[in-house]
Amino acid sequence: MLALEKFEKVAKFSYDNHLGYITTCPTNLGTAMRASVHVCLPLLSKNKAEFQAIADKYHVQIRGAHGEHTETDDGIFDISNKRRLGMSMTLLVQDMYDGVKAMIKREMELKGGAKPAATAAPTAAPTAAATEAPAAGNVKAGPHLKKPEDITGFVEFPAGTKSLLCKFLTPETYKAYKGKKDSCGVSFERMILSGAQNVDSGIGVYAGCHKSYYEMEQLFDPIILDYHGHKKTDKHVSNMDHT
C-alpha cells in the first residue's frame, strides 16, 4: 500500500464512486485487485464440473499456473478472486481463501477414496458451419478481422460462443455506436476488436479510457452487471486498510 501511495503523489489513479478504480478491462473495475495462490489439485481437476462448481460457489477463477488462458499438465492451478467491484479488498481476499480451502478439502477427500460428485454430462454446443455466410451487411467473428476497420457491420459469432461481448452486443447497440469514438479518441470498433477476433474470449471488450464506460454504457453496463452484479445505481466503496 505504501508503494501505491508513493505513485499517487506523482499521478492520481482514475477513480469514481460508481466504478471504483478504472481499468481497461471491465473485470478489473473496483478494487483492481486479484489475490491468488497456486495449489496442486490433481484429483479434483479430473472432474471439471465439480471443480468449476466449487469455484462458482466461492466466486473464484481457475487458471493455469502460467497465467490467463494457460493449460496445466501437472495439476497445479492458479486460484483467484473473480469479483472486484462493489466490495472491499478484505472480502475479496476472503473469497479466494474460502475457495482454496474448499478445494483442498475436496482434494483430501478424493485422496482418501471418496467418489467424485455426480455431475450431468455436458452437452456439446452446436457449431456454425464454416461455409455459412453472414447476413447481409454483417461480418463473421474470427481471426480474419485484423484491424478495427475490418469490422464493417454487426459481428456474428459462431454458435457456442460464451463471451460477454457475444452475449450483449446486439444489433441495436452496434447501430448506436458504430463508427463512433469516445472522448479520448478510441473507436467502438477498436474496443470490440479483440473479442471479435478471438471467439474463445471470456469478456471480449476493452474500454478505450475511463470515459468509455459512460459514453458507451449501452454495452458496458450489462457486462458489468453480469460479471460483478454491480448495478448502474450502485456505488463502490474502496477499503484498502490491510489491518
The yes-or-no verdict on residue 135 having pLDDT over 60 is yes
Instruction: Judge whether 115 and 46 are in contact, CB under 8 Å.
Output: no
* More confident: 219 or 127: 219
The CATH H-level (homologous superfamily) assignment of domain 14-111 is: Glutamine synthetase/guanido kinase, catalytic domain (3.30.590.10)
Residue 67: is its pLDDT beyond 70? no
Whether the per-residue pLDDT at 66 is higher than 70: the answer is: no
Beta strands of the chain (E only): which ranges? 15-16, 20-21, 36-40, 60-64, 76-81, 139-140, 155-156
Does 139-228 match 14-111 at the fold level? no
Which residue would you say has higher pLDDT here, 119 or 79? 79
Q: Degrees (nearest 5) of the Cα angle 67, 71, 74? A: 105
The answer on pLDDT for 128 being more than 50 is no
Closest CA to 240 of 99, 98, 92, 23: 92
Q: Which three cell numbers stand for residue 108?
A: 483430501
Listed by start position, the domains of the chain span 14-111, 139-228
- List, as one string, the DSSP characters of 23-41: -SSGGG-BS----EEEEE-
Phi-psi region at 46: left, alpha or beta (left = phi > 0; alpha = psi -120 to 50): alpha
| Confidence (pLDDT) at 131 | 47
What number is the average pLDDT over the span 97-113?
95
Percent of the chain whose pLDDT exceeds 90? 72
Q: CA-CA distance, 170 to 163, in Å (whole number)?
A: 13
Residue in this structure with the C-alpha cell 469455484, named with its chain if needed: 55
Q: Which of 110-114, 152-156, 186-190, 191-195 has the lowest mean pLDDT?
A: 110-114
Over residues 207-217, mean pLDDT: 95
Between 225 and 67, name the one with better pLDDT. Answer: 225
More confident residue, 29 or 2: 29
So what CATH class is 139-228? mainly alpha
**Contacts for 123 with CB less than 8 Å, ≥ 6 apart:** none
Q: Which pLDDT score is estimated for 69?
A: 56
